[in-house]
Structures are given as structure tokens and as C-alpha cells.
Amino acid sequence: MADPDEESRTVASTDGSDAGQRSTPALTKTAQKKLLKQERLAARKAEKKEAEKRRKAEHKEQRRREWDEKLEALSPEEKAKLIESKNEARRERIKREKEEHRMKIERLKKAAEVGQKVVLDLNFGHLMTASEIQSLSQQIMYCYAANSRSANPTHLWLTGCTGEMEARLQNIPGFNNWIIEKDNRPYIEALKDQKENLVYLTADAQDVIEELDLKSIYIIGGLVDRNRYKRITMDKANEQGIKAAKLPIGKYLKMSSSQVLTVNQVFEIMLNFIESRDWKSAFFKAIPQRKRDDAEAEILGEENNSTADTADVAALTEEDKKEDLEGDVVEEGCARKKQCIRETEVVENIASEDIETTGNNVSATDNGTKELL
């Protein structure tokens, strides 16, 4: 006959085990697939990053070897002449970069006086996750980089920049030196004396912008929400009693998905239009092909993919297509971030930089302070 105490302990143990299992439920199939996809994307990104690192190291080593071999084949007089020529080219480059930087500063300062006013509304931080705030901070970086490169920059404002959003922006190299208006207050307070000129750009508006007005102050909602919050910017404009309008996308393009664009895409469209006064050209330059209809892509001849790539894509399942697209977007974002930093490079200590005269040091990579200024 079984011991009652032993039987009760067995039941208690079984119940406890079940309770423990119930406290940590297994992931659903959808969650498991999502997790696996994220792991594959992360692994693919790490592999590409490592491959690029190796490629750069090999290229650098090859250039160093070629330089050393070239010097060894020369006489002392020829070697000194070559080194001096290299130093002179470097001095010219530094001089050119200083001049380009000076002209960029002048353009941005002039835009602060007479340029088209554009506000990035950053008052949505409480509605975003940490990763979405990080994504938005990168989009803002792209906006500033594009503005600083433009021949006709805008007078760019950041309003409502507080909390984690502000902390993320502070992590961007050179952020404190940006020639830009920064205000922790909401735009409705910071620009209260110009309320009649405020125009919120939102895809939900009825009015369509045909021409940019220098008197108007255009507001772009700084929100990355994966389309969770419907009509949030339109409702905000209505509540504040300010005008709302949308860009004429539908008149010139057929979007492959929704007409919701990223912050930097909207900003770059406006920059392009200021330079060209042509909406269609402005849209095509700023909107990625993946967001445009195939018909528009054919007009510009942007479907020139290789036969091998086409065959590979055709062989993928729908799930793999989505995964590849997400991976490309991540890689595109990383590459663009690096490009923005490179294209807005500032060498502040350029005048005091010592120029090495030895052959090996001449061939070394140039030193510079990377800033988005």
C-alpha cells in the first residue's frame, strides 16, 4: 500500500512543476519565427560587417606595400621629390576642405536669416520605443547632413527635444555644433508669435501643397511608430488650430504601399523642390524605389538588376523576400549613416596638423575629426 505522505508529496511536486512551466509559457509559432528572423538578420549583418572590415584592412595593407615598393625603386633625390609632392597634395586637400567648410557655414547662417523654415516636431518621444527613438535620431542626422550639403539649405528647427530623444541626439558626433535652431519647448510655444504661418505636413490632410511659401513654417512630425497611431499629426494640428497640408505625392507618383514617408525623406523632398522647383524630380530623388510603383521605376530605368539577382529573388519564398528586404534596409541605413558622417566631415584642427615628411607616414590614412557640422 502506498504511503499517503509520499503520494501527497508526488502530487505537490507535480503541481509545482506544472506551475513552474505555466509561469514561463513557450513562444508562439509567430514569435518563434520572428525571433529566428531577427537572429538571421543579425548574423548576416555581422558577417557583412566583418567581411567589409577585412576588405578595408587588405586594401590598406596593399596600398602600404605598393607605396614602400615604389619608394625602394627610387633614388634618394627622386624619393624626396615624391614625398614632397605627396605632402603638397595633402596641403592642397586640407586647404580645399577648409574652404568648403567655410562656405557651408556661410550657407547655413544665411539660411537662418532668409531660408525656408522647417520644424521637426520631436514631442512624440513618449509614444516610441527605444529602438524607434534611435531610428528617429538617425533620420534627424540625415536631415542635417542633407541640409548642410544643399546649395539652398533650409532654416531647420528641432522643437520639443527633451528626455531620451535629447540624449540620443547628444550621442551624435558634433551635435552641439550643428548650425540649427534647438528648442526644448513645443513649437506651438516656441513660435507662438507666428502661429498663423504654421503648417503641419501630414498625409491625412485635405489641402495639397503646390508651392512652398517662404512665409510659412512647415512642420514635420518626428514620429517612428510603424503606423500604430492613426491621424495623430492631423488631430494635433486640428487641436492646436493650425493649418495642415500634404505634399502632392499622389499627383506625381503611385506608391507601392502607403504614402507615409520617413522624416528625412519628407525633408529631402522639400530640399529637392527648393533647388529644382519640380515636384516629380524631388520625389524621385528622395523616395526609395521599394516604395514606388514598378511603373515609375521603369520610367527612370531603375530596374537594371542583374539576371543573377533576378533569378535569386524569384527563387525566394515570400517570407525570405521580406527578410531580405529588411536586411537591405538595415544595411542601407548603416551605409547611409557612414556616408552622412563622411560627407559632413570637419577638420577643425586642420591648420595646426603636422604633416609628416617620411615616406611611410605620407602613405598613412589621413587624420581628421568627424563631426556633423
The two most distant CA atoms of the chain are separated, in Å, by 107
Q: 10 Å Cβ neighbour count for 347?
A: 18
How many other C-beta atoms can be found within 10 angstroms of the C-beta atom of residue 263?
A: 22
**Cell numbers that stand for 68 in this block:** 614602400
Q: Is 320 a catalytic residue?
A: no
Which three three-digit cell numbers place residue 261? 514617408
Dist. CA 352–CA 345, nearest whole Å: 17
The residue from 225, 235, 320, 324 that is catalytic is 225
286 alpha carbon, distance to own chain's centre? 13
Q: What angle do CA 97, 103, 108 make, to 5 degrees?
A: 125
Nearest-angstrom CA–CA distance, 32 and 355:
56
Query: Dihedral, CA atoms, 232, 238, 240, 241, nearest 10 degrees?
Result: 160
Burial of 130 (0-12, 13-18, 19+ CB in 10 A): exposed
Distance, C-alpha 195 to centroid of its chain:
30
- Is the separation of the CB atoms in 231 and 198 below 8 Å? no
**Residues designated as active site:** 225
